[in-house]
């Protein structure tokens, strides 16, 4: 299957437990990495509570502003799982039981299958159910919105579906330069790199009380040669003995 080319992405991370500090989100990092490796720019992430109206509003806004949207969490059989209803609300459609999904659930749970289990087959009407040879359990996609589960192990597993279906228009080329110079002293050097290579994104990250380095400088570009030229300029500007390592 031809992969769809998407340029920009947004994430909507759902769950009271994340905002109350009970649970640390573990899904945004792996999603960001996966998208980056595909050449897709993750532009924005929003964390919201388990509130149907809030989620619907956010899905609607992100869906219009970005090429692809991933929701994380709020999928399941219980009262606090409102993501499916919220996505349906965002697209002004209703929620139906998907027959194929329901059959899968009946097969999986056999005689112990209840109405609660079958709630997991509820999808916004008009959804696509994405599966692969490895992942038979469907992932709901409506328009450009992928509805991903909150459980980190399952979320990470499902990133393979995304890799098989989407790709970015570019490849990012990146380097990280670890220096023994304090960020303030590095600034004039960085300003020269930024001015000479406007197509390269230069990041500067001070490290607090690390015995090995003081500031990490990152260089990112969609052209390997542009990134390399900026790297060479930076290295030529660094005073002797101030380079710790390059990654």
Residues in contact with a second copy by the rule CB under 8 A? 16-25, 28-36, 41-50, 76-81, 109, 114, 116-117, 119-120, 151-154, 172, 174, 176, 183-188, 190-191, 194, 201-209, 218, 220
Min dist CB 150 to a second copy, Å, is 8
Q: Residues 146, 83: contact at Cβ < 8 Å?
A: no
- What DSSP letter does each residue of 167-199 carry, written as one string? E-SS--EEEEEEESS-HHHHHHHHHHHHHH-TT
Q: Encoding tokens for residue 97?
A: 């039981």
Min dist CB 1 to a second copy, Å, is 25
Q: Smaller CB distance to a second copy: residue 17 or 85? A: 17
Q: Smaller CB distance to a second copy: residue 142 or 172? A: 172
Min dist CB 33 to a second copy, Å, is 3
Q: Encoding tokens for residue 82?
A: 């409102």
Q: Which of 139, 97, 134 is nearest to 118 (CA)?
A: 97
Q: Smaller CB distance to a second copy: residue 2 or 241? A: 241
- Three-state secondary structure call for residue 60: helix
Min dist CB 6 to a second copy, Å, is 15
Element (H, E) at 166: strand 166-167
Min dist CB 126 to a second copy, Å, is 25
Q: Smaller CB distance to a second copy: residue 99 or 247? A: 247
- Three-state secondary structure call for residue 112: helix
Q: Smaller CB distance to a second copy: residue 53 or 128? A: 53
How far does Cα 60 stand from its chain's mean position?
A: 18
């Amino acid at each position: 299957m031809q992969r769809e080319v998407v340029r920009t992405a947004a994430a909507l991370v759902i769950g009271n437990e994340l905002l109350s500090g009970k649970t640390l989100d573990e899904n945004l990092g792996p999603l960001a990495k996966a998208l980056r490796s595909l050449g897709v720019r993750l532009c924005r992430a929003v964390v919201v509570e388990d509130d149907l109206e809030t989620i619907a509003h956010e899905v609607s806004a992100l869906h219009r502003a970005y090429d692809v949207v991933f929701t994380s969490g709020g999928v399941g059989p219980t009262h606090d799982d409102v993501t499916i209803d919220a996505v349906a609300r965002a697209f002004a459609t209703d929620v139906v039981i998907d027959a194929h999904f329901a059959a899968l659930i009946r097969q999986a749970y056999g005689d112990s299958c209840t109405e609660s289990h079958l709630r997991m087959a509820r999808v916004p009407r008009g959804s696509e159910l994405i599966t692969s040879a490895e992942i038979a359990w469907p992932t709901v996609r409506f328009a450009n919105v992928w509805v991903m589960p909150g459980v980190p192990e399952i979320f990470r597993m499902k990133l393979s579906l995304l890799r098989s279906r989407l790709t970015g228009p570019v490849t990012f080329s990146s380097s990280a330069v670890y220096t023994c110079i304090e960020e303030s002293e590095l600034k004039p050097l960085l300003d020269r790199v930024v001015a000479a290579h406007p197509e390269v994104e230069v990041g500067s990250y001070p490290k607090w009380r690390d015995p090995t380095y003081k500031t990490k400088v990152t260089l990112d570009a969609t052209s390997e040669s542009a990134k390399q030229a900026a790297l060479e300029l930076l290295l030529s500007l660094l005073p002797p003995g101030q380079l710790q390592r390059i990654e």
